[in-house]
Chain A
């Protein structure tokens, strides 16, 4: 199917098994699933916040590069994370 390689035109969508939200008490974004919670670090949360089934991977990269101008080229970080997220079944493509 997709051996972990994310293409720029993919439009990732959150797996309906998970709910994504900001948690004030944890001060981070989290993924909630039956009886469990994954706490996302800062960059992972920023990426997941843009996953909506409409934005392409390229859109997500551009948006975050504009938001974090000092960070340089984020392509590798973002596709790498989305590849992991796909392998973990957090997102579908």
Chain B
């Protein structure tokens, strides 16, 4: 759209060797939508059951090579549950040889010590295990699996024993955030290197379940205080463990600079081969390119989908004249689409958005809603068919 010398472009054309956007440093390979868990905050699309085809081993390896040539350096194996793919070791090995830093993002279900050692041999750099809560019953309730928690604990210990850097990811929400001290204690016990205490991002399944997930402001402030107290204790003890606390943008007055800008750093490939500028973007009414029809270079540099929200020509008021537009890029396009009904609108998280009252209403509801785990819409094929077109 803003390619060299376009007669429609309002800007001076750029010399051909200078690209008007960044490199896809982060390549996220969603290998499959299959998953043994049913987390009610899964970021996969609601209608995932519509997309059952998967790229082949050779197609993935070819994409990794193309990504590397575009400057990609971090490669995430994700899903669904990536361990479901029988060729995972081969994919890790190929990516490692190309020079990627390889990250396996897993629930830990389906992992064992032998597989972990195999992946290590193949060149896997890092395993991130996600937890649902520190307490066994809450964790299992949220994951929809009885054995999941014990398995995760065992796998986290094994990750460390095999010398991998350990990043633990705890998804926090109103059911578990008051236990954040126990979550952190567990991480200290497991000798984690990094801990992400990340509140749900309300897309996909999490958006369906926002009432049962969004903590109250008071819960959030309490959790942040506890986290800060532990940070201080860790520093005093000379413990290098890093606590990363991610707040839900629903309690902000300015939107996040989503994905560091559309098509600037991040490239996701879905199990069935669609290329996206972020893992939620599939919900938008944009025709995104398919890796089976175009090279990654054409996708990144030229495809209408990846150029759609680059720059700021697409912006409406209040973004267009806002002096913070270069910082937050108008916020998240998916959130604008979901909440304002227009993907070109300001992210309703922003206090300047005419739809900001919708965010305030959700916050307000969080003060009165009662925790009820039976109200969750779990992420499974049966529920997905309700949202699917097929």
Q: Is A bound to B?
A: yes
B-binding residues in A (CB < 8 A): 1, 16-17, 19, 21, 23, 25-26, 30, 32-37, 89
Provide a sorted-by-A list of 28 A–B residue pairs whose CB atoms are within 8 angstroms: A1-B238, A16-B165, A17-B193, A19-B101, A19-B125, A21-B99, A23-B71, A25-B23, A25-B71, A25-B73, A26-B73, A32-B73, A32-B101, A33-B101, A33-B165, A34-B103, A34-B125, A34-B128, A34-B194, A35-B26, A35-B74, A35-B103, A35-B128, A35-B167, A37-B25, A37-B73, A37-B74, A37-B101
Number of interface residues of B (CB under 8 A): 21
Whether a CB of chain A sits under 8 angstroms from the CB of B240 is: yes
CB nearest to B242 among chain A residues = A89
Q: Is B82 an interface residue (CB 8 A)?
A: no
Interface of B toward A, CB cutoff 8 Å = 23, 25-26, 70-71, 73-74, 76, 99, 101, 103, 125-126, 128, 163, 165, 167, 193-194, 238, 240
Q: Is the CB of B71 within 8 A of A34?
A: no
List 6 tightest A-B contacts by C-beta distance, closest first.
A25-B71, A32-B101, A34-B126, A17-B165, A34-B167, A89-B240
> Which of B25, B71, B163 interacts with A16 by CB under 8 Å?
B163
| Residues A30 and B73 in contact, CB atoms below 8 Å apart | yes
Would you give the shortest CB distance from A38 to chain B, in whole angstroms? Answer: 11
The residue in chain A whose Cβ has the minimal distance to the Cβ of B71 is A25
Q: What B residues does A89 contact at CB under 8 A? A: 240
A36 and B71 in contact, given A17-B165, A17-B193, A19-B101 (Cβ under 8 angstroms): no
Q: Find the A residue at minimum CB distance from B70.
A: A25
Residue of A25, A36, A89 ringed by the most chain B CB atoms within 10 A:
A25
